[in-house]
Every structure is written in structure tokens, then in C-alpha cells.
Amino acid sequence: MKPKEMAERLGVSVKTLQKWDRQGKLPAKRTVTNRRYYTEADYLKAIGQPKANRKNVIYARVSTAAQKD
């Protein structure tokens, strides 16, 4: 999520998130263009809740060469 969304969820300012990132209190992830972003796991860690017990499900459709688009 974007820093603005994370700040709103935590009830702090974006500047506070930037400060926490510099101090290492709540490190942000970075995109290839060096923009900050946060994950749901980062949010849960910030509010002191354990990680969500979730399973990832992957679906892949396999087509044959004779099948139409």
C-alpha cells in the first residue's frame, strides 16, 4: 500500500512514516524507482498483531495448441 494509505490506517502522518523508515522502526519496502510502499504484514506488525494465517492459492489454466482464444 502507498505511504498515504498506511499513514491513514495507523493514524499518523506520512512524514512520521518517513521518519520511522529512516530510524528503522518501521522500514518501508522500495520499488525499483525507489518509492516507498508497505504490505499488509507491515501494517499488522505495526499494530502488534501476528501475521494473518492465510494460504496462497494459485490457478493456472493449461491450453492446447488447437484450442481457440
Active site amino acids: 63
Other Cβ atoms within 10 Å of 3 Cβ, number: 19
Do 9 and 43 form a contact (C-beta atoms < 8 A)? yes
Q: To which H or E segment does residue 30 belong? A: strand 29-30
Closest CA to 51 of 60, 62, 42: 42
